[in-house]
């Protein structure tokens, strides 16, 4: 079983995909974490992530491993677990910059397809339904207004004791949306056969039920055909 979940930054894809995978007892693959590893390494090396030549050269000397433990998915970069370090806003924009480059995408997409070949998966990202797993049985595109996404992110950060400017968060989200939707290779867009879910006015449980119901309905229809 392959389930693709795509959508813009901060729409709640990760928590939904994680719960869905748990509910179905299958693997949760967070593909954004892999792009974050690339952005993180470039940052550490002082490489401008918009510089395609330099980032592409770096891809010849990078080892990214995705492993799973009781605490979920971990990203091992060149032998070090960097899972804890890749959620900073600075890494987000560098991941988005690096993800524009063909060599980065080719390498990471191949890894993602390899993982999904071996096991049932809920894969979450930007191009899962369109490029990574175009044959996925179930595809969802989850979105919400930029303002709502900034509000949720603000709340999340406040709960962690980090005070941020909500307007600035909205600007960052919009900049990343623009870049992810307008890049040349595999831009963020809803697959034609995906189910679109706008979560602006929906809570977590409502979104999860909607997805589970869609999966069950489609499963029943397939059985009766
Ligand atoms: O899902 P995320 O916010 O952790 O992803 C970080 C960046 O990685 C995102 O801005 C664009 C890129 N990305 C991508 O290009 N393709 C994916 N399948 C997942 C993420």
> Could you tell me the domains of the chain?
2-215 (3.40.50.300)
Residue owning the nearest CA to atom 7 of ligand 1 = 96
Q: Taking a C-beta distance cutoff of 8 angstroms, is the pair 123, 133 a contact?
A: yes
CB count, 10 Å around CB of 31?
23
Check residue 219 and give its pLDDT. Answer: 74
pLDDT at 151: 94
Give the Å distance between the CA of 92 and the centre of ligand 1.
8
What's the pLDDT score for residue 164?
Answer: 87
> Across the chain, which distance is largest between two alpha carbons, in Å?
57
d(CA 107, CA 130): 17
Q: What distances in angstroms separate CA 62 from CA 41, 54, 82, one per listed residue? A: 9, 13, 13
CA angle, 126 then 132 then 135, to 5° = 115
- What confidence score (pLDDT) does residue 40 get? 98
Question: Is the model's pTM score more than 0.85?
Answer: yes
- Residue 109's pLDDT is 98
Series of mean pLDDT values for 10-residue runs along the chain (225 residues): 95 94 95 98 98 98 94 95 93 95 97 95 97 97 96 90 91 93 95 96 95 88 74
Residue-level pLDDT at 162: 86
Q: From CA 117, how far away is CA 166, in angstroms rounded?
A: 40
Q: Which residues line ligand 1 (CB under 6 A)?
A: 9, 31-32, 35-36, 92, 95-96, 99, 125-127, 176, 180
Cα(38) to ligand 1 centroid in Å equals 11
Which two structure tokens, joined as six digits, stand for 63? Answer: 């080892």
Q: How far apart are CA 167 and CA 192, in angstroms?
A: 32
Burial of 37 (0-12, 13-18, 19+ CB in 10 A): buried
């Amino acid at each position: 079983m392959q389930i693709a979940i795509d959508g813009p930054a901060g729409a709640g894809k990760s928590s939904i995909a994680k719960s869905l995978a748990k509910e179905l007892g299958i693997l949760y693959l967070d593909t954004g974490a892999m792009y974050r590893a690339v952005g993180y390494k470039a940052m550490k090396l002082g490489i401008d992530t918009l510089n395609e030549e330099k980032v592409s050269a770096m891809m010849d000397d990078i080892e990214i491993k995705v492993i799973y433990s009781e605490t979920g998915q971990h990203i091992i970069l060149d032998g070090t677990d960097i899972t804890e370090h890749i959620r900073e806003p600075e890494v987000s924009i560098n991941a988005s910059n690096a993800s524009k480059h063909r060599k980065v995408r080719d390498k990471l997409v191949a890894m993602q397809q390899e993982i999904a070949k071996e096991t049932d998966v809920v894969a979450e990202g930007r191009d899962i339904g369109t490029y990574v797993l175009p044959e996925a049985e179930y595809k969802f595109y989850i979105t919400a207004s930029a303002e709502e996404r900034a509000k949720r992110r603000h709340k999340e950060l406040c709960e962690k004791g980090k005070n941020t400017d909500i307007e600035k968060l909205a600007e960052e989200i919009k900049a990343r949306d623009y870049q992810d939707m307008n890049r040349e290779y595999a831009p963020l867009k809803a697959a034609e056969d995906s189910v679109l879910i706008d979560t602006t006015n929906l809570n977590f449980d409502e979104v999860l039920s909607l997805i589970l119901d869609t999966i069950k309905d489609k499963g029943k229809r397939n059985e009766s055909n």
